[in-house]
Chain A
Amino acid sequence: MTRVSRRMFLRGAGTAALTLPYLDYFAGNARAQTASTPKRLVIFQHPQGMVMDRWTPSTTGTGFAISDILAPLEAHHDKLLVLSGIDNLVRRQMMRGNAHNPAARSLLTCFPYAGSMNADGTVKAAGNQVENGAAFGPSIDQVVASRMGNPTRFARLDYKVNGMGVGENQIFWGENQVPIEAESDPGVAYARLMNEIGPVEVTEPTFGDRIRAHRGSVLDSVLGGFDRLLGRVGAEDRSRLNAHAMLIRDLEQQVDAPIIESCSPHTLALPSGFDFASRDFDNTSAPALIDNLVLALSCDLARVATVQFADGHAPTFGWLDADVPGPWENWHDMIHSGQNDPASVETMVQCQRWYTQQFNYLLDRMDSVVEADGNTLLDNSLVLWISEFGNAGVHDTRTLPVVIAGGLGGQITTGRHLSMAGHTTGDLYSTILNLFGHEDQTFGLTEPLNGDTLNRGPFDLS
């Protein structure tokens, strides 16, 4: 059986879409899966928050209406748990320095900078705090990983999209205030995994594989057909056609997940001239790194993995027909200054939907891996998507955009949107620890400087 991963096709303005060369194709070489299916934690993070009123679903509960920004996830609706209203209040303990460092350091650790902590575990008075530095404690992923012991070849795997420095967006922290480093070169990451998996048989892609890979180009032409028709119909019909055309544009941006059995290596296919360090290739790096992450999990080379969009400063989203940075200096400025400019807001929504598409690709891939217990890899995992800000325009770390996907082996009731107003990131992480079999009632800092309640305890997601 041939398996092909359809990668990104860049929609060129009036030119042929850029298709990636297909090198060779690996047939399945599935290693026998162990009988017990392990539980996995995946964390997916993008910087600079969301246009929150376009992110938040308008209804709560089962069968919630998917929101504008989350629309590309519709196919996974029933495997999603959208949690709105969760606050990171630890950032309010961090009194000095720019707004980005404290948000990132505290996001997954629930601790301030190490240099702002007293020896007894309390926070220093504002005047004695440092302006920057390492997070005092490990991030939730590290806590989960280290408590697992060392069951797999890699204790954790960490990927970041974009080779430029993480800097103020360093969110993953190990023990002893050491930052977790992430790999951004899909080739290096792939080679490292394949080195463990060993050689696999090579087969040719079928015409079916290749016509699928050519989808982006065909859709581009189909949209030409829509443009022609739009001018000939009445207003109501036009809005029907426009809605359909918008979905086709989303589809063009989507990379398509092949059906794979457990631990079936894909082929790494990167376009000539690919440069993981260049912002122009984020749209190729992201699915390539996600493919690696899914390969590692499906082959049980790791049970904790992260993927991060490291660059919050000046991503260009050049592969979208998006006006970035518009009248502003860069993406960061657009986020901060474009809040009241409707055109900029639309551009932000469009770009944030791109993050959704990447998350959707991760879920597509994870949901296509069928494991020994008959569930998909996604069903056996907890995938957390979070950003360090809610409304990034004002550096607000409250009401973060939080999505959990997958049921962690049936422990989580998905297909819901819950309003979690009043709960904190500490509660979210103690919940995750409980789901992984631990009994923590708090996570991170427990003694705030001000009157904030940092931990109300884990909540029930069953």
Chain B
Amino acid sequence: MLACEGQIGPSRIGTESAIGNASDAIERSNGLASGSDPNRNDGTPSDDGTGAEADGDSAGGGAPPSCDVPYAAPSSLRRLTDLQYRNSVRDMFGGAVVPTIGLPESQPNLGSTGLTAEADANIVSAVGAARIADSAEEIGVLVTAGLAAILPCFPAAQDSSCADTFIDTYGAKAFRRPLEEEERAILRSVYTIAEADFSFEERIGVVASALVQMPQFLYVVEAGEELDEPNAPEGVRRFSGYEMASRLSYLYWDSVPDSALLVAAESGELDTPDGIEVQARRLLDDDRAARPLRRFFREWLHLPEPEEKDLSVYPSYDEELAHAFDQELDSYLDVIIQDRDATPETLLTSDVGNVNSVMASFFGMDEGVSEGPSNWQRVTLPPERAGLLARPAVMAGLAYPADSAPIHRGKFVLNRLLCIELPSPPADALARQPVTPVGAGQRERSAARRQVAECAGCHDMMDPLGLGLEELDGIGQYRTQYADGSPVDTRGAIQVTTDVQGEFSGVQELTDLLSQSDDVKQCAARQWMRYALSRMDTADDGCSLTALTQAFEDADYSLHELFVAVTRTDAFRYRRLEVSQ
């Protein structure tokens, strides 16, 4: 990857490679884009280091002929995440079985999407394979123990027909579709083989342990169906009704479909965008949607795990405070999630928050908040504490143990909020780092860095942005001067070609700038699409992203409508098989 050279615009929707020569598509793309910079719709050249992860167009097949035919990027078979697995087991058995072992944690690619549900974040290792078996055996034991509540024919019947009932009922829940005869036979043989050594209810437990190890349960299998449209591009397939049911339930619930969703799948309701939308709205209205949506915001932001802080610099920082920061961010996000009218602007500027006594005192709020870390109450936040960027969890996360981290903060705004892909630093970046005198301030160090040609490309973009947030220290406390008594300079600038290019001073002015930005809104749409697809968007998804952004705009940038609208896009409804060479 090359260093940042010159200016890099946000990764654009409707890039040239995505839309080919279809002039109407270019027009749509241009029409959608806001702002006045003529460079902004050039798309992202493939050699500028941006979107290297989004290199889907090299996977064969090339660009769609036009946005009138269904098209999508290839996707990979993905294993359930630990969370999805636990939820699935819990919901399959109506809450009677709650696994404690679970699956190995996902290994999200923090340099790319940061999504826990992405296929590559959930590759099974040898340790993982053993964990899957351990967990399955635990589930078997729990099923046996709770069998009376799980299997209506038990204990009255303890025969193979009652076992078949278990296999058909829970097989369909686990595989999110009716069992095929051969699959039924495999599970029956598990029951039969166990006959010698186990009682009836134990045998059902053994069958359950096999069921939850079957790849048809552990993986979201999406073979798709042939299209009947004659003009369909080669290799493009539509997700079947049952596959769509799983897509929807794992998107909104991180769990298996409920029976209403499976009925909708069987009836063909999920073969049309309107039918999908009806179910999408139903799932979103359910309480179970709250946690996955919080996961969306968390993974979108993908804040680093807060580092250990240097207690000689931040003596007030302790585990209680760190935990309160984390919960405060979640509760802030929950308010956004519950607000049907919330927009990206709400996310960036909201002054509705929740505090416990720890956070109230951290914010310097003297209103009566009950003591105790678990007593949270809804408050209007002080003006300087409104908005996403002023969240202590965000600012403390984007900081070093003993200092703020302007670079990380600048990169966060560019990469997460404006969807600008920045290349990794060169391998020898640390070695090239200029030496600055001991005690040099952030601005001095930044200036030295930006003297080095190889560093300047990116740091000219990141540093001025992050330096404008210097009024918040390494644990997100406001400050007016540094430890040595020198005053904090809050002047910052966005020096990237976006619709919010310009100067600002401090976190609230930056918040105001970003909240008016169409680029931020388009970035929100792109991030949600990645989340919904559990993969990086590629040029092949260009038409879908254009359509989604349009729908978002038409809905006055309602996040709730964005959450629904993605399910109507080609990228959500179709996949393309890799073209075998």
Contacts and interface: CB of A to CB of B under 8 A. Distances in A.
A211 B215 contact: no
Contacts of A19: 197
Interface stretch (B80-88, B185-193, B273-281, B490-498): B185-193
Interface stretch (A45-53, A155-163, A228-236, A433-441): A228-236
Contacts of B183: 225, 228
Contacts of B505: none
Contact of A212 (B76, B126, B129, B137): B137
Given A218-B213, A240-B123, A244-B124, A211 B190 contact: no
B215 A241 contact: yes
B223 interface: yes
A153 interface: no
23 contacts: A74-B126, A75-B127, A207-B141, A208-B138, A210-B198, A211-B137, A211-B202, A214-B206, A215-B137, A218-B133, A218-B136, A218-B213, A219-B213, A225-B214, A228-B183, A228-B186, A233-B221, A240-B77, A241-B219, A247-B126, A248-B129, A250-B126, A254-B130
A218 B127 contact: no
A244 B215 contact: yes
Interface string B168-203: 000000000000101100110110011011100010
B529 interface: no
B580 interface: yes
B55 interface: no
Contacts of A228: 180, 182-183, 186, 216
Contacts of A219: 133, 213
B94 to A, nearest CB: 22
Interface of B: 74, 76-77, 119, 123-130, 133, 136-138, 140-141, 144, 180, 182-183, 186-187, 189-190, 193-194, 196-198, 202, 205-206, 209-210, 213-216, 219, 221, 223, 577-578, 580
Interface in A236-262: 236-237, 240-241, 243-244, 247-248, 250-251, 254
A211 B205 contact: yes
Given A229-B221, A233-B77, A222 B214 contact: yes
A234 B577 contact: yes
Does more than half of chain A's interface fall in helix, strand or loop, or is it mixed?
A: helix
A71 B141 contact: no
Contact of B210 (A17, A221, A233, A247): A221
Given A211-B209, A229-B221, A232-B223, A241 B141 contact: no
A287 to B, nearest CB: 16
B126 A75 contact: yes
B215 A226 contact: yes
B215 A225 contact: yes
Contacts of A218: 133, 136, 190, 206, 209-210, 213
Contacts of A137: none
Given A211-B141, A233-B221, 4 more contacts: A211-B198, A225-B216, A235-B580, A236-B77
B3 to A, nearest CB: 27
A153 B371 CA distance: 62
Among B127, B213, B580: residue with most chain A CB under 10 A: B213
A135 B361 CA distance: 78
Contacts of A247: 124-126, 128-129
A342 interface: no
Interface of A: 16-17, 19, 71-72, 74-75, 207-208, 210-212, 214-215, 217-219, 221-222, 224-226, 228-229, 232-237, 240-241, 243-244, 247-248, 250-251, 254
Contacts of A229: 215-216, 219, 221
Contact of A237 (B76, B210, B213): B76
Contact of A208 (B128, B141, B215, B580): B141
Nearest to B205: A211
A79 to B, nearest CB: 13
A15 to B, nearest CB: 9
Contact of B129 (A207, A236, A250): A250
Contacts of B77: 233, 236-237, 240-241
Contacts of A208: 137-138, 141
Nearest to B191: A221
A224 B213 CA distance: 11
A244 B193 CA distance: 24
B578 A234 contact: yes
A221 B190 contact: yes
Nearest to A364: B130
Given A19-B197, A240-B76, A75 B578 contact: no
Contacts of A254: 130
A222 B210 contact: yes
Nearest to A75: B127
A46 B169 CA distance: 49
Shortest 8 CB-CB contacts between residues of A and residues of B: A237-B77, A247-B129, A225-B214, A74-B126, A222-B213, A244-B124, A224-B186, A16-B193
A218 B197 CA distance: 13
Contacts of A71: 126
A215 B133 contact: yes
B197 A233 contact: no
Contact of B130 (A222, A234, A251): A251
